[in-house]
Structure 1
């Protein structure tokens, strides 16, 4: 049973490539079948590349430590405003780093 939201694909497109082109396509293919990857590219779906798991773990630890520091500062009022501003800057940089490493290249 198919729905209007996900109609069955009944049309086929054939694309011929040479050995070098096929190798290049396989090199660039990201985390799915070749058909789905090509269809997504053709339909404008931005691919998401996989982040290095160690990078994600390290960023998670840093983020956790920053959150603990910020909580302590907010409860105990022991850190000055400059430190809190730096924490916010670091959070922003971590967010940008994650975005840069998780977003696929167009």
Structure 2
């Protein structure tokens, strides 16, 4: 086995049922447990913490506002008071998120 290809070792503790499930899943995938874990790590999306989910929702809303502003400007409309208020609102929301 070539240890130079994977020079870092990580130890993890599992319950009996978790270990059995891990070994079964690796076997069903035709992989050794270590290869299976590497595959899962490189192909899985990590769970998003609930705090992060609310942050993502806020950022999506800000993105939608920015898209509306960009559409307004791209169709040749001048930046009027309504659009300026949206820009100020987006800026405030971003400042709030940063804090």
The TM-score, its normalising length taken from structure 2, stands at 0.42
Considering only CA atoms, is the larger Rg found in Structure 1 or Structure 2? 2
TM-score (norm 1): 0.40
Higher helix residue share: 2
Bigger relative CO (Cα 8 Å, ≥ 6 apart): 1
